[in-house]
Structure 1
Amino acid sequence: MFRACTDQERATAASLRVAWILGKNKRPFTDAETVKECMLASIEEVVADEKIRKSVIDSIKNIPISDTSTSRRVETLASDVFEILLDKLRKAEVMSLAIDESTDSSDVAQLCLYVRFFDGECFREDLLGLIPLDGHTTGEVMFHKVVSFFKEHKLGLDRINMLVTDGAPAMSGRTQGLSARLADVAPQLRSLHCLIHQSLLCAKLSGKMLHFPTLRTAGLQITEVMTGFMDALKTNFAARFEHFSLPTEVMRFVKDPFSVNVEGEFALKAKELIVTLNEASLQLELIDIQSSDDLRQSFQLAGSEKFWTHEVSHEKFPHSRGLALFVLTMFGSTYTCESAFSHMNAIKTNNRASLTDQHLHHCMRIAMTTYTPDFPALAKSKKCHFSH
């Protein structure tokens, strides 16, 4: 009885690993049966001993990797790594979100949520969720979807420090946009129009006026059209950064805490960023950091990010480290969402157009997650069925 149970668990663990590999490579569930055929054919050729060959073939035949079984395994694996992510997120002090929307091959609008946070060891960027949008894709609809998602998974909106979007009206509208609505429930949230999108927009707006620097050397007259264009461009960029600013002193502090003037406005500017920050405590911590030869040497060897994550003690420097992690957690663009949509299009092709939203979400999570499931533990926790 014990031996049969062990064989069953091993067969299930093997099926989980096959499903994981297929998911990582964005392959259809039906490919699992092809994998099984390949394994059996390979064993027939490479194992010379007949008894061993028969034993291995019997074990492989008992691996449940039909398309239906693989679909269930994918769901199990995706749920497991999602729980790992949620557990880490609930312990994180702050998180940054990149949100974008695109349609899949079935013309279903999908809202992609990507998260960046410090998990105690390193900064993680992972797929938080893929939310289908039925009907209108307004800022109001997106807001309620995001709020419901956070509430369902017991995540705090008040810990979001940055929201990066593509700058579309539904995302960045002044009153009804997603950014504006989230700012009402997340006091420390700052919004940013993706820097990559802004660069592309600038190039697009420039059009035929890319040669401004050469106009004067060519002796050409600067016209009202040209100056009007520059004024409009300046106004456009000012509006896009209207609700986003990071004090120079704070950025300098994160980059190199030993270059900051303790007696300057650093602590005051830091409090503008994090209203709960204690200015006096932050100044005292900075003095201690700058007075430490060991920390100075660690900074020179480790670099900025590793210095704050591994060299500076949270117990001794809670305000300084908290401020640094707050800034380092911030996204600068929605490139992760763009990458997610590329994965989405590779998974839900025209040949797999019937893939459900739930299965699409599971497949994308496996393909993009930075976490790895515990295969043996999952095999022991599930009821296993041999394939026939």
Structure 2
Amino acid sequence: MEHHLCAVKKAFQVKLLLWETQMHQCNLPHFPCCQVMLNQVGRTVFPNMHFGDFEEQKKNFELLRNPFAVNVETAPVQIQMELIELQCNGTLKAKYDTAWPAQFIHSIPAEMLQLCLHAARTLCMFGSTYLCEKLFSHLQSILRISTTQNLTPNINELIAKKRCQASSSDKMT
């Protein structure tokens, strides 16, 4: 699961970088409604945007992925003592060896509050990525619906294409 979350995060990051580059060039092929707006009102509508780099989060991801392999000296100071306790706990190591990293964090004792908070902060980044990706995946549909409010269905054509289905009781009579 963690590998999938990392892949989803990476794909989303690459998409955002592509969109940012295209936006700077005022080339919006993935956002046709925005391209129409750009053509109608001009280039000043779309300001520059910046997406933060996840590279600085690599240590946090590694700490979540395998807390038993992380060098305590390079870990954030507020979790170093708890990390030592975790790494020295054979029972927790055995639980880690049999669970996914995202499942293992539920095994971290409540007394290791800083480790729990660190894991929660790291995992919530993936939730945000998921929500953003979900938003962008539905953006086209939302824009299409909002721009087609003046369309009316051709009821006669829809009825003509509909086939009548007789029930089995109608066939017997």
TM-score of the pair, normalised by structure 1: 0.25
For 1:252 and 1:287, how far apart are their aligned partners in 2? 16
Question: C-alpha distance in 2, partners of 1:352/1:292?
Answer: 65
Aligned to 1:198: 17
Q: Aligned partner of 2:94: which letter?
A: Q
- 5 Å-filtered alignment, 1:1-388, equals 194-199=13-18, 240=50, 246-262=56-72, 264-268=73-77, 279=78, 282-308=79-105, 310-313=106-109, 315-330=110-125, 331-332=128-129, 334-345=132-143, 348=146, 350=148
- Structure with greater proportional helix content: 2
Identity across the alignment (%): 19
What CA distance in whole angstroms lies between the structure 1 residues aligned with 2:22 and 2:150?
37
Query: CA 1:352 to 1:300, structure 2 compared with 1: closer, same or farther past 3 Å?
Result: farther
What's the CA shift string for 1:335-364, capped at 9, x where partnerless? 22112324425755735779xxxxxxxxxx
Contact between 1:258 and 1:290, CA under 8 Å: does it hold in 2?
Answer: yes
| Distance across 2 between alignment mates of 1:242 and 1:197 | 10
Distance 1:292 1:258 in 2: 10
The answer to which structure, 1 or 2, has the higher relative contact order (CA under 8 A, 6+ apart) is 1
Q: Distance in 2 between matches of 1:244 and 1:338?
A: 19
Q: Which string of whole-angstrom CA distances, capped at 9 and with x for unpartnered residues, describes residues 252-284 of structure 1?
A: 11111001112x12124xxxxxxxxxx2xx222
**8 Å contact from structure 2 (residues 87, 93) kept in 1:** yes
Q: Which runs of 5+ in 1 are unaligned?
A: 1-192, 206-238, 269-278, 355-388
Greater strand percent: which structure? 1
* TM-score normalized by the length of structure 2: 0.51
8 Å contact kept, 2:17–2:51: no
- Please give the per-residue CA displacement for 1:274-297, whole angstroms capped at 9, x wherever unaligned: xxxxx2xx2221112111222212
**3-state DSSP of counterpart to 2:71:** coil
Q: Which runs of 5+ in 2 are unaligned?
A: 1-11, 25-48, 153-173
Tell me, in whole angstroms, the C-alpha distance in 2 between the residues paired with 1:300 and 1:352. Answer: 58
The one-letter amino acid of 1:259's match is: A
Give the conservation status (yes or no) of the 8 Å contact 1:195–1:332.
no
The one-letter amino acid of 2:14's match is L
- Is the contact made by 2:20 and 2:50 (CA closer than 8 Å) also made in structure 1? no
The Cα offsets for residues 287-329 of structure 1, whole Å up to 9 and x where unpaired, read as 1211122221222222111111x2223x221100110110111
1:63-108 alpha-carbon deviations (Å, 9 max, x no partner): xxxxxxxxxxxxxxxxxxxxxxxxxxxxxxxxxxxxxxxxxxxxxx
**Which whole-Å CA distance do the structure 2 matches of 1:241 and 1:260 have between them?**
28
Q: Using the alignment, how far apart are the partners of 1:203 and 1:258 within structure 2?
A: 42
**Counterpart code for 2:107:** E
Other structure's SS at 2:68 match: helix
Cα distance in 1 for residues equivalent to 2:121 and 2:108:
14
Report the count of equivalent residues. 114
